[in-house]
Amino acid sequence: MREKLQRFMYGRYGMDRLNQVLMCCAFVCLIFSLFGSGVGYIIATAAMFYAYFRMFSRNAGKRSTENNWYLKQEMKFRGFLEKKKRAVVQHKGYHIYKCPKCRQKIRVPRGKGKIAISCRKCGNEFIKRS
């Protein structure tokens, strides 16, 4: 049986990260459809159908392009989350100011009183409370 499945899948695209996400979303929608309306069931069915379509497709170039697009969007989102996480962690010990001239972000330690801040990018100097 395993050999027949291997022969069937020969030349087909298979699983990738986008398919994994589609299947997880379908599973979550199925769980929600148990408690709510049938819209979750329709979305889950469509996501599973698309995931299986991608898995059994012989057009590997097209599926690979779709997966690369998804991975690029995922990395942008993860980068955004990391940036926000860093800002939250730094908020405790630092103020983040923007230079009024060039809009460069400048990190200044908290609790130093009124200080003159000079921008490293453009050399502009301005006064703020830390």
User: Above pLDDT 70, what percent of the chain?
Assistant: 100
CB-based contact 106:96 (threshold 8 Å): yes
What DSSP assignment string belongs to 10-78?
A: TTS----HHHHHHHHHHHHHHHHHHHS-THHHHHHHHHHHHHHHHHH-S-HHHHHHHHHHHHHHHHHHH
Tokens of 97: 């100011």
pLDDT tens per residue, range 49-70: 999 999 999 999 999 999 999 9
pLDDT of the residue at 130: 83
Report how far residue 21's alpha carbon sits from residue 63's, in angstroms, rounded to the nearest whole number.
Answer: 14
Burial of 26 (0-12, 13-18, 19+ CB in 10 A): buried
pLDDT tens per residue, range 104-113: 999 899 988 9
pLDDT of the residue at 10: 87
Highest mean pLDDT among 2-6, 38-42, 50-54 belongs to 50-54
Q: What single-letter amino acid sits at 100? A: P
Decide the pairing of beta strands 114-118 and 125-129.
antiparallel
Whole-model pTM: value is: 0.72
Helix (H) or strand (E) holding 120: none
